[in-house]
Structure 1
Amino acid sequence: MTRTHRQNRITDLVALVLSLLAGLLFAADAVDSGREGHPAAFAAALAASAAGCAALWWRREHPVGVALFILPIAALAEYVGAASVVALFTVAVHRPWRTTLLMSAAYLASGVPYAVLWPDPDVAAAGAGVLGQIVFNLVFGVVLMSPFVAWGMVIRARREVVASLRDRAERAEAEAALRAEQIRSREREHIAREMHDVLAHRITLLSLHAGALEVRPDMAADQIAATAGTIRSSAHQALEDLREILGVLRPGGESSTRPQPGIGDIAGLAAEAAGAGAAVELDDRLADPGDAPSSTSRTAFRVVQEGLTNARKHAPGRCARVLLDLPEDGELLVRVTNPLGDPGAAPAAPGARSGLVGLTERVQLTGGRIDYGARRRRDGGIEFRLEARLPWPS
C-alpha cells in the first residue's frame, strides 16, 4: 500500500522532533562533562544543529540537498548526529546506491575534523593520539550508519520491485485489452466477410430478376408483379445486410446475432437461385448433415453460394450442378460445376475478382483444401469447377 501525504508528514514531524530531543540530550551530556566549549561557540552549535534538524522537514523532496546542508554541521558539532542518520537513511531510500555510498563516505570523512576539535576523553585516557581518535570516530561512524543505510537501500529495492510488478501488471492489463480488441476486430471482419458473400448473392439475384424484366417485356401482369415483388424483397434484404455490415465494421459496433447458414440451408439456396431463373441441379448424398462441424457447415454453404454466384455472373443461362458427398476418406466434398458461357457474351453482373481469393482463405482456415479452374469434360466441352474438401471428424 502506498503511504498518504498526511502519513508522510507525520513521519517527518516525528523524525524532526526526535532529532531535536537527541540533540538536546547530547548537549546536556556535553555540559555535564565540560565539553561544551566557549558559550558563544556552544550557542552557535546549538542553533546550527536546530536548523539541521528542522531541514528534515524537506528531506523527501530534497534528500541530497538536506544531507549536504547537515554535513558541515555534523563535522563541527555532535548535536546533529541523529539528524545526520535520518538524512543518510532518506538518501538511501530515495536515491541510487552510488549516491548513497558517496554521501556515506562524506559523512565518515566529516568525523576527521570533529575528532581533531572534540577528542573523546575516554579514548584520550587510553593513550590514543589524534590518529587514534580519527580511527575511533571512523569505526564508530561505520557501526552507527551501516544498519540505517542498509535498511534504506532495502526499502528502496523493495519499492523498485513493487513498482516493477505494478508496471508489469498494468502492461499485462493493457496487452490483454489490446488482444481482446484485436480478437473483436478479427471477429467483426470475419462476420463482415460472411455478410459480404450474402450481399453479393442477393445483388446478383436482383440483377437476374431485373434482366428478366428487361428481356421479357411481354410477361403477364401477375408475373411482372411477382418479379417486382421479388426485386423489392431482395433489395430490402440487401439494404439490411449492408446496414448490418456497416454496423459490424464500425468501431465499438456489436457483433451480428443473425444465425449463420450451413449445409442444411444449401437446398434453400439452390431453390432461391432456381426461382430467379437459374438452372441448378443439387445432388445431396449426405445422410445426416447435422453431424457436420459448425465451421465446416458454414464454409460448405459459402462454397456453394460463391459457386452459384459466379455461375450466374459468368455463365448465365447455363446449368450449375452442386454435389455434396462424404467419401471414404472422411472429408466433405463440395463441388459446383457449370459449363463456361459464350466467351463473347458479357457477364450478367461485374465481379471484383476477390470472391475466390477470400473463399480460399476461408477454406484453409477450417483446415480444408480448395481447387478451382476451367476443366475439359469427357465429351470435349469445357466447364468451370469449384471443388472444396473440408474436414469432417468421424
Structure 2
Amino acid sequence: MGKTPATMDDPPPHRGHRHAWRLLVAAALGGLYWFLTATQLPDRYVSDGAYWFVVGDPLVAGGCLALLVRRRRFPLPVALAVVAASAVSVLASGAALLALASVAALRRPWWTGSVTVVYLAAAQVTASLYPVRGESPSPWLSLAFTVLSAGISVAVGVAAGARRAETHSLRERARSAEREQAARTAQARAEERNRIARDMHDVVAHRISRVALQAGVLDHRGDLTAEDSRMLVRGIVTSSHQALEELRDVLGVLRSDPDRPEPEPPSLHRIPELVAEAQAAGLDVRLTSRVSGSPPDGADRACYHVVQEGLVNAAKHAPGSVVRVTVRGAPGDGLTIEIRNSAAVAGGHAGLPSSGFGLLGLTERVTLEGGDLEQRPTADGGHLLTARLPWPDQQPGRA
C-alpha cells in the first residue's frame, strides 16, 4: 500500500503527456454512463434538488481523474482510492475502469484481485445511488454487467502489460547487443594496438640495435683500420636508412596508403639476411638450417620473428658471444628454432637499453600459431631460446 518504485512499464516523466489520451477515454466513458443515467432519472429529479448528481458527482469524478495522474508512482493506493470513490459517482466509472486496467498491467495477481473486489462492491453501491424510472433492473443483470466490464478492463490491462514487458525485453536486448559490440570494438582496438606495438618493436629494436652495436665497436675498438672504420660507418648509415624505410612501410600499412607498395612479409627464406646483417654489425653468428619444404604462413612468419628477437637479445645482453642459430623441421614433425649464445665477453660493447616487451610479444606470436616458446640459461653461462611451431603433414592448397 506504500510507495512503489518505478517499474519497467513506467514511462519517463517527460513522456507523461503521451498517455493523457487514456484519461480522456476514461472521462468519455464516465460521461457516457452519466448521460445514460440522467436519461433514466424521474422527471424533475434534477430541478427538485438533486444537486449531488449535478455538482457532487462531477467533482468526485474530476478528483479521481486528477488522482490517476499519479497512478504509475503509487499504483495500488491510487487504484483503490479511485475505485472506492466511484461508489458515490457515476461519472467516475470510467476512471475506475482505467485504475483497474493500470493495476492489471503490472501483472500482480493479489493487487488485481483486491482492486477487482472493491470495484465490484462499489459498482453495486453506484447502481442503487440514483432512482430510475419504471422497474429497477435485475440485481443479477447488474452484477453480470459489472463482472463483464471488470473482465474486459483486466484483459486490456494484462495485454498492455505483456506488450510493455516485451518492448522492455527488446530494448534490453538492443542495449546488450550495443554493449557487446562496444566490447568487441574495444577488444579489436586493443589487439590492433598490440599488433602495431609488435611491428614497431620488431623494426626499431632490430635496426637500432644494429646501429648501437656498430657504434659500440667504433667506440671500444682502438685497433681498427681506416677501412674497417669506414665499413662500420657505412653500416650505421645503411641500418639507419633501413630502419626509416621499414618504419615508413609500417606507417603506410596503418594509414592504408594505396600508393605505397606492400612490404615483403617476413618469412623463413629471409633468415640468412638477418644473419648477414648481424654479422656485418660485428656479431659472431653461425646459421644451421635443415628445413624440408615450405612451412605454413603463420609458422613461417613466426620463425622469422623468433630469429630476429634472438639476435637482438644476444647483441644486447651477450656482447662478444658466439651465437648459433639452428632451424629444422619437416611436414608432420613441426618447426623448431634454437638460438644459443655463449657467455658475454668481459668488456664488450653492449649496454643497450631493453624494453622488456620483446619476449612477451614473441611468446604471444608463437602461442597464436599453436606453438610454445622456452628460454633458459645454459651451463656455460650463455642462454638458449627455443621455439616449437606446428607443421601439419598435409597442407591443402599448397604445391
- The reply to whether TM is greater than 0.5 is yes
Q: CA deviation at 1:218?
A: 6.4
2:323 pairs with 320, 342, 350, which one? 320
1:196 pairs with 181, 198, 201, which one? 201
User: Any gaps of 5 or more consecutive residues in structure 2?
Assistant: 1-10, 394-399
Change (3 A) 1:111 1:220: same
Query: CA-to-partner distance for each residue in 1:68-120, whole Å, 9 max, x for gaps?
Result: 66435421243433342233223433685544433323222324544665588
Contact 1:56 1:87 in 2 (8 A): no
Contact 1:88 1:104 in 2 (8 A): yes
1:89 to 2:101 alignment: yes
Higher mean Cα deviation, 330-339 or 359-368? 359-368
Query: CA-to-partner distance for each residue in 1:310-338, whole Å, 9 max, x for gaps?
Result: 33234433432222222475201212233
Residue equivalent to 1:129 = none
Counterparts of 1:20 and 1:63 in 2: how far apart (Å)?
Answer: 25
Change (3 A) 1:87 1:310: closer
User: Any gaps of 5 or more consecutive residues in structure 1?
Assistant: 127-132
1:78 to 2:90 alignment: yes
Amino acid at match of 1:25: L
Change (3 A) 1:37 1:366: farther
1:297 to 2:297 alignment: no
Q: CA deviation at 1:297?
A: 1.6
Counterparts of 2:153 and 2:131 in 1: how far apart (Å)?
Answer: 25
Residue equivalent to 1:130 = none
* 1:11-160 pair list within 5 angstroms: 12-31=23-42, 38-48=49-59, 51=62, 55=66, 58=69, 64=75, 67=79, 70-93=82-105, 97-111=109-123, 113-114=125-126, 117=129, 140-160=145-165
Residue equivalent to 2:389 = 390
Q: CA deviation at 1:35?
A: 11
The structure whose RCO (Cα within 8 Å, separation 6+) is larger is: 2
* 1:159-238 pair list within 5 angstroms: 159-216=164-221, 224-235=229-240
Kindly tell me the number of residue pairs found equivalent between the two proteins: 374
Residue equivalent to 2:274 = 269
Q: CA deviation at 1:60?
A: 7.1
SS at 2:291's partner residue?
coil
Amino acid at match of 1:320: V
Counterparts of 2:113 and 2:63 in 1: how far apart (Å)?
Answer: 21
1:349 to 2:373 alignment: no
Change (3 A) 1:374 1:77: closer
Q: CA deviation at 1:390?
A: 0.9
Counterparts of 1:92 and 1:258 in 2: how far apart (Å)?
Answer: 69
SS at 1:102's partner residue?
helix
CA RMSD of aligned residues (A): 4.4
Counterparts of 1:353 and 1:85 in 2: how far apart (Å)?
Answer: 74
Q: CA deviation at 1:221?
A: 5.7
Contact 2:68 2:99 in 1 (8 A): no
Counterparts of 1:358 and 1:174 in 2: how far apart (Å)?
Answer: 29
Change (3 A) 1:62 1:365: closer
Higher mean Cα deviation, 67-76 or 215-224? 215-224
Counterparts of 2:113 and 2:49 in 1: how far apart (Å)?
Answer: 35
Amino acid at match of 1:13: L
Counterparts of 1:324 and 1:36 in 2: how far apart (Å)?
Answer: 114
Give aligned-pair identity as a percent.
36
Give the structure with the higher percent helix. 1
SS at 2:288's partner residue?
strand
Amino acid at match of 1:93: A
Change (3 A) 1:358 1:6: closer
Change (3 A) 1:222 1:375: closer
Q: CA deviation at 1:147?
A: 1.9
